[in-house]
Structure 1
Amino acid sequence: MSGETRYVLITGANRGLGLHSARLLARRGWSVIAACRKPEAAAPAAEELRAHGATVVRLDVTDPESVTAAVHMVRNTTRKLHALVNNAGIFEHAEEHLPDAPAAITRDLLLTNAWGPLTVTQQFLPLLRAADGASVVNVTSQDVDPENLDGTFTGYCMSKAALNVMTANLALALRPDRIVVNGVDPGWIPTDMGGPDAPDDVTQAARTVATAVELAGTGRSGEILRAAN
């Protein structure tokens, strides 16, 4: 990919880890396609990203028609996608104890955090294949590690555990296409999701995302990279 413009699409790029990762990758010379569910509601972030040379697209990972429309928009910019970061996710409204968790909340967690990344990866697969060496990065959570389970947030943990299985299986399935698939555990970082008192470093987490993105073409796949906090 030497000398070639490298394109990376990041979902949930208008805030938190997605925004930090978009800034960093733009500084490293990547052409960033920043995807967010409601660009008009994220106008300041969208304008900042455009100032970094990013393209902003509307994409709701839980809506297949929205994903299809985003694919068409990206095709107007590039016929190759060198990296995809499945960063969009939800945690809010995840009740702590199982009897208090409405079915609709668990469904939304699974749709957004697991089914959504799979749908996005599937629909962008032709562009990823065209890069002849691409990277898919799935943002996961340390909360699903068995030693960290404490009986709370069952729906959220289920969703990220499903994402981890998807990561491992797609790493095998997409190997013939020279697409590496890895996860990133950013730690507990101070974002809208993590809260202001989270102890870990969002800048370091973004560096770990960038490291995973830049594994494109290396063959290193099926891993969970953990931010060194």
Structure 2
Amino acid sequence: MNSILITGCNRGLGLGLVKALNSLPQPPQHLFTTCRSRAQAVELEDLAKKHSNIHILEIDLKNFDAYEKLIGEIEVVTKGEGLNVLFNNAGVAPKSVRIGATRPQDILDTLHTNTVVPIMLAKACLPLLKKASEANGSEPMGVSRAAIINMSSVLGSIGSNTDGGIYGYRTSKSALNAATKSLSIDLYPQKILCISLHPGWVRTDMGGSSAPLDVPTSTNQIIQTLCKLNEQHNGGFINYDGSQLPW
């Protein structure tokens, strides 16, 4: 892939994805990374100083009015070649677990960040993704042409839910999965591939210290999986290792 935009790169999986991509034999020419505060994204800043392909874009993704500026900054760098991949990684963890402790504002805040933001950012990036797809018309559907990767969670799987609870987070990821499916249908004529991806249960601030996977294991597998995606995966719900997950 020539260019990729990854949201939420100040820590955790987002930062891990940046490291994994830059460790490839042929890293992306342009790696656009977002964070809410550059001052707090110390490790990301250090990486950007060492690797000229990393571009840091400071933005509050919940401020939809800021998207036009974000797209403009990417266009200046890519010089009309568009954007190969939008990776909607940024998200928030559940604030409450059981129904008795669930508050309406918790659900609304989680849906805003985990569902509405990825949909609206996909909409904003669509002109760039279409340009990349057209410019790489000889390539099959996949990340080397144009793709939207939505970071979901197995907790958004209705078929796998045997524990209940986690209302805001589960519903936000189920809704994101539904959006991914619609995007895969709407953008198929432009050959823009769209999938939902579960990163595994990872030891991050969100995943907690008892998670079985560390960040490098998850992100390295994710990159391997992304490179194998093709038209058959379009509209799918995929595990970090490439296996299918139930809706």
TM-score (norm 2): 0.84
Gap change, CA 1:208 and 1:175, over 3 Å in 2: farther
Q: Shift in Å at residue 66 of structure 1?
A: 2.3
Is residue 159 from structure 1 mapped to residue 177 from structure 2 by the alignment? no
SS of the residue aligned with 2:41? helix
Q: 2:208 aligns with which of 182, 195, 198?
A: 195
Give 2:128's aligned residue: 127
Is this contact kept in 1: 2:9–2:34, CA < 8 A?
yes
Native 8 Å contact 1:182 1:225 kept in 2: yes
CA distance in 2, matches of 1:16, 1:27: 17
Residue range with higher mean Cα deviation, 54-63 or 151-160? 54-63
One-letter amino acid matched to 1:125: L
Q: Structure 1 pair 77/60, CA: closer, same or farther in 2 (3 Å)?
A: same
Per the alignment, in what secondary structure is the counterpart of residue 85 of structure 1?
strand
Structure 1 segments unaligned to the other structure (5+ residues): none
Q: Equivalents in 1 of 2:169, 2:87: separation in Å?
A: 19
Mapped partners of 1:88, 1:45: distance in 2: 15
Instruction: In structure 2, list runs of 5 or more residues that go unmatched.
Output: 134-144, 243-247
**Aligned-partner SS, 2:234:** coil
Partner of 2:90: 88
Alignment map for 1:1-229 (pairs within 5 Å): 6-28=2-24, 29-30=27-28, 31-53=30-52, 54-78=54-78, 79=80, 80-92=82-94, 94-132=95-133, 133-145=145-157, 146-211=159-224, 213-214=226-227, 218-219=230-231, 220-228=233-241
Measure, in 2, the Cα distance between the counterparts of 1:91 and 1:109: 8
Is the CA contact 1:135–1:212 (under 8 Å) kept in the aligned structure 2? no
Q: How many residues align?
A: 223
Return closer, same or farther for 1:50/1:172 CA change in 2, 3 Å cut-off: farther
Which residue identity is paired with 1:73? E
- What is the alpha-carbon distance in structure 1 between the residues aligned to residue 212 and residue 174 of structure 2? 23
Q: Is the contact between residue 60 and residue 67 of structure 1 (CA under 8 Å) also seen in structure 2?
A: no
Instruction: Answer whether contact 1:83 1:136 (CA < 8 A) is retained.
Output: yes
The one-letter code sitting in structure 2 at the alignment partner of 1:104 is Q
In 2: Cα distance, 1:110 partner to 1:227 partner: 23
Q: Quote how far apart the aligned CAs of 1:25 are.
A: 1.3
Q: Return the offset for 1:215.
A: 5.4
Which amino acid is 1:63 matched to?
N
Where 2:31 maps in the other structure, the secondary structure is strand
Moved over 4 A (4+): none
Q: Which of 181-190 and 192-201 deviates more?
A: 192-201
Q: In the superposition, relative to structure 1, how do residues 221 and 38 fare at CA in structure 2: closer, same or farther (>3 Å)?
A: same
- Asked if 1 retains the 8 angstrom alpha-carbon contact of 2:222 and 2:241, the reply is no
> What is the rounded CA distance, in whole Å, between the counterparts of 1:121 and 1:57 in structure 2?
16
SS of corresponding position for 1:77 = helix
| 3-state DSSP of counterpart to 1:162 | helix
Q: CA deviation at 1:212?
A: 5.0
Amino acid at match of 1:192: D
The residue type paired with residue 183 of structure 2 is L
Matches of 1:19 and 1:188, distance apart in 2: 16
Indicate if the aligned counterparts of 2:10 and 2:40 stay in contact, CA closer than 8 A: no
AA in 1 matched with 2:44: A
Question: RMSD across aligned C-alpha pairs, in angstroms?
Answer: 1.9
Residues 86-138 of structure 1 show CA distances to partners (whole Å, capped at 9, x for unaligned) of 0000005x211223222211111001001000011100110011001201101
Secondary structure in 2 matching 1:148: coil
TM-score (norm 1): 0.90
Residues of 2 paired with 1:169 and 1:208: CA distance? 26
